[in-house]
Structures are given as structure tokens and as C-alpha cells.
Amino acid sequence: FNLLEIRSDPEVPLSSKTLRRWRKSVPPTFAFSVVLPPVVTELRPSAAADRALDQCIETATLLESPVMLIANPLSVTPTAANRKRLEDLVRRIPHDVVRLAWEPPGLWEEEEARVVASRLGLVLVGDAARDPLAPGSVAYTRLRGLGDLRRLSLARLDKVVERLQAYREVFAIIETDSPMAVAKAIRTSAMDGGEARVSRARHVEYPLRAEDEEQE
């Protein structure tokens, strides 16, 4: 695995020293995806949201993150006001180097989400095991397993691989059984000259690492 989602806690920020150590502890090809916290993704303007966003941008910079993730909660419904707030948030994040991925809640229709993502220059997160992903050169997929689909069949895995081969760069979070086998298939089949970064369903929560930092 060469990808890890970092879910920050604005109340327990990590030091620059710790973040730099994380970056140096992994190979150059390893990627950190910085997930914006709920206080930001709820799209309710506040001083706390501003501080949290600034912390996330600094975290992404120090970790040399190629991608940041906006995962909205269910409270962010597809209204005109929320579309405007999302646009305002995107404008505040420098993404000339860092890509922005967007994971809207289930209330958003797929076609509407694609239109919004395309207009704002966002990578729309989807489940390549279930549906084709939005067109583009970069894919961010969360392969979810539910019930009998916890284990991807060979046919379904072949479909995932086929869909991801169309992208130059892939970020894949595997939430199914046998994550090693799925990761190997995705990375082995990456398109010529492309790159696939893969993670199983795990992430780093800031409070735990902050406690470790205090004990050093």
C-alpha cells in the first residue's frame, strides 16, 4: 500500500516536526490524502472552520500531499446555497499542485455531482466496483464492500481494473475483503506511464498521534 488518508482534528493539531518526520519516513512515491474535517466540510462559515482549513493546507504542504479530500456530511444537500458555499471553499484552497477530490453525500444525484465537479475542477469520488467513474485523467475511488459483496468476485475485480486503466493517476481506498489481492491487481494493471496509489480502509486520526508526540 502506498496511500494513506489523514483525517485531522482541529483541536489537536500536529507539529510541523511530526509532519515532516512522517514525510521522511515513507518513500517518495507514498502519498498522503488530507481529508478536511467536518467543521470545514459542513460548509458553515466560521472562525473555527477558517482555522481548521488553514491547518489542513499547512498539513498538505508539509506532507507534500498530491490530493486533498472534501467529504461532505449528509447535512450538505444539493441546494443552490450549498453549491455556492462549496465553490467558495474550493476557491480558498490553492490547488495548482494539490488536486481536490470531492465525495458528496448520497442525496446528490450522480449527474448533478458530475456537473458540479467538472465546473469546479474537482475529482469526483466514486465506487469503481459499482459504477463507471467521472471522466478525466485522475480517479479517486472508494471500493466499498457490503454484505455478499465484501469480497470482489474475479469478474467484478476485472471490471474495476478495466475502468481504472483509463486514468493517468489513481487514488484507491479499498474497503473490501482481501485488500492485498485487490491492491495488487490495481497497481499491476496501471496504464502505461500512469501511477496507482492504493490504501486499505484505514486512516490516521490526529489525537492518537498527538499523544505519541507528547511522549517523545
| Residue 135: partners with Cβ closer than 8 Å, 6 or more residues away | none
Q: Is the pTM of this model over 0.75?
A: yes
Query: Residue 94, SS3?
Result: coil
Identify the pLDDT of residue 214.
Answer: 40
Distance CA 70, CA 152 (A): 27
3-215 fold: TIM Barrel (3.20.20)
Distance CA 204, CA 120 (A): 28
Instruction: Burial-class residue 59 by CB neighbours within 10 Å (0-12, 13-18, 19+).
Output: buried
pLDDT tens string 31-74: 999 999 999 999 999 999 999 999 999 999 999 999 999 999 99
Beta-carbon neighbour count of residue 179 at 10 Å? Answer: 21
Identify the pLDDT of residue 155.
Answer: 83
Identify the pLDDT of residue 146.
Answer: 53
pLDDT tens string 69-101: 999 999 999 999 999 999 999 999 998 878 999
Say how many CA atoms lie within 13 Å of 81 toward its Cβ: 7
In the predicted structure, residue 126 carries a pLDDT above the cut 90: yes
Distance CA 135, CA 105 (A): 20
In the predicted structure, residue 122 carries a pLDDT above the cut 60: yes
Q: β-pairing, 123-126 with 169-175?
A: unpaired
